[in-house]
Structure 1
Amino acid sequence: MCCLRRKKNKQGQYQELISVVPSVPGHSAPVIPVSQGFCARHGEIPFSLPPRCVPQNTAVLRDAERQEKEKEGAMKVDAQRDILAHRGSLSVGSWYPVGSVLTGLYSMTPLSEVVAPPLGMATRLCFSVEYRHSSEQLVVSLLRLSNLLPRFHSNMTLVELRLLPDDRRPRQAKARGTGPDPEFNDCLIFQVSAVCVLRSTLSVCVLSVEKDGKRHAVGRVLFPLEGELGQAGRVLWRDLDPEEETQCSELGDVQISLSYSSSLQRLSLVVLGARGLQLLTDAGVCVQVSLQIHTQMVKTKRSCVVEGEQDPIFNYRMTFKLRPQHLDDACLRFELQHPNDNRSEPPALLGVLVLGPFMYARGLQLQHWMDMINKAQEPVRMWHRLGRAI
């Protein structure tokens, strides 16, 4: 840069203080003064070529160059082999080693050694629950099953989770192995508010699936969440309640099979049997089934009368015409009755059961209806407790 400063001396004259051209030694690299107000041209840049040795024998030079190239190529191949041997056998092309995963760094302790099941012979489910208030999510971690019955060891184990009473879509998890102690290691998330989660119940249904797709109910766990979310992440063990060992209710239980075909718009049901009924007379037992849409009774059917006993077997099939758009508005009402010889008098009522969507039912009754919708044209069988007529 050119730096000029105006300074008036005693005689009123100006004096140059700094030289505008920097001094450059003769032996140093060339300096291009780009700030002088002009651009340097290529012709003004001094340069010099390094000395070049021209050998007298050209053939000797060619042999030396060839030997040097061969030596460099051998060194590159050796270096490539060293890299591949150090980083693994996986490579892209021939000169881009990617590496390999060292399994020793990712070894995990078997889950059976981390969470050992408590003593006992009952089939148990190992899981944990955690509620995240920031995102309003209930996180359920399925870990493993223990003491599975021997007849289920060779089948695939499937678990269906629901958040009762309002959750309509089940979450599923499949075991990663077979045997008496199949492992899951799956994490399932339910989106639920902090107010509703305390009033909810986690339903875990364990199913055994054969190779041909046939399912068998192993058992069920009903886990109320109220008071259980304080210690997040702790491992929980719960015994499965087998379907065949479920205790009868006060009025008895009834077994129903439901299936629905959307293409045929047909709802099919089979009243299989009942148990633990409180019979009043020996006149026999029958089942009356009514299809209801909103508050309107659409159709009513009645089964044949079975001789009076506490555990009658019906195996009575019924079908109803039901459009898919009414699946959320319709319900089935079951009434177990004692018929009277005098038809002018109403029959004696033994118990009532209502199966339907969330508008009419809760708990297992709601779950049975949703299973029927989700498993198209596949019969879903379940035991239900009878209630008193309101």
Structure 2
Amino acid sequence: MMGHAPEPLSTSAPAGTTAVPGLIPDLVPRIPWPRWVFIITALAAGALIISCLLCVACCCHRRHQRPRKQPKDKEAVGLQSARSSTTAHLVQPDVDILESSSEGARKWGRLLLSLEYDFGSQEIRVGLRQATDLKAEGTADPYARVSVSPQAGHRHETKVHRGTLCPMFEETCCFPVPQAELSRTTLQVRLLDFKRFSEHEALGELHLPLDTVDPQHVLERWYQLGPPGTAEPKQIGELCFSLRYVPGSGRLTVVVLEARGLSTGLAETYVKVQLILNQRKWRRKKTSTKKGTTTPYFNEAFTFLVPFSQLQSVDLVLAIWAHRLQFRAEPVGKVWLGPRASGQPLQHWADMLAHARRPIAQWHHLQPPREVDRALGLHPQRRLPRPRS
């Protein structure tokens, strides 16, 4: 009709339909929360979503990124570049500096000695008491070798002490030194680690000039050991042999194995094995002759009948004899074993008795023949009769 006004549109949606555009604005007024809560929640959710996205992006970037190599020509930083005295102690020193400082401050142990000079017999009496704080890898088998400098070849070896770095020697040795040469004499003590089949390792040395001590009084004090020398005086040579003793049958078996380090110019060499009973020559045998070599190999066995009751009165001497070019045979060096011996020979003899019925082999340094003969002090009587086998 022309006279009627138009009816207003209804704001309500018909039944069965959903007004999507007006859903959130209609729900917000109905929730009894203030408007600022919605704003803070929206900001927090947005910040959380952005943080998660950034973390995922960083992880993916690091996974695909390759590590960069340091440039080879990068300048090394050491103590020399840090000139400031206030920051030098904060920088770790170089390894070379640490090694040199530790080597310089290394201690080689101490040795307790007693010295006494007898003006009547004109000899120096040296008492080796003990050593402490020896340096070795783990434990060692130390022994001491004592000599005086002007005299060549005359020396004393102590007993070997097993598995210790603080050996108790308690041994005394004497060296003839004229009073006029006392001020020019130097006492030398060398500590070594015993090795049965290889070169003995030096543990420390002591060089004591006798003009620095008072010979009129018995002196006993501790001395600091120094580093071992580069090399010992040239040796005559070495001899390897084994010993075996059977107490029941009284059989002493000596197997001469080989020698080494002999001087050149020896045309023929052989070994004499001699038994001495009560300081008198008793029995003797010898090996075959080896020609033109400084390392002769023998591997020959000799058996002697020595009753157990006489074992403490027997000395065993092995001597290397040689024919030099156009000269007669003469002894090159000797090794003396037995209850009256000392050092390594005495230790070898004791090991033979401690391990009865088992062969005990060992290398020995040869000693000058005159020195061994003087130490044996043989009587010039006729030989004793051989026991019946």
Compute the TM-score of the two structures, normalised by the length of structure 1. 0.45
Structure with larger RCO (C-alpha < 8 A, sep 6+): 2
Compute the TM-score of the two structures, normalised by the length of structure 2. 0.45
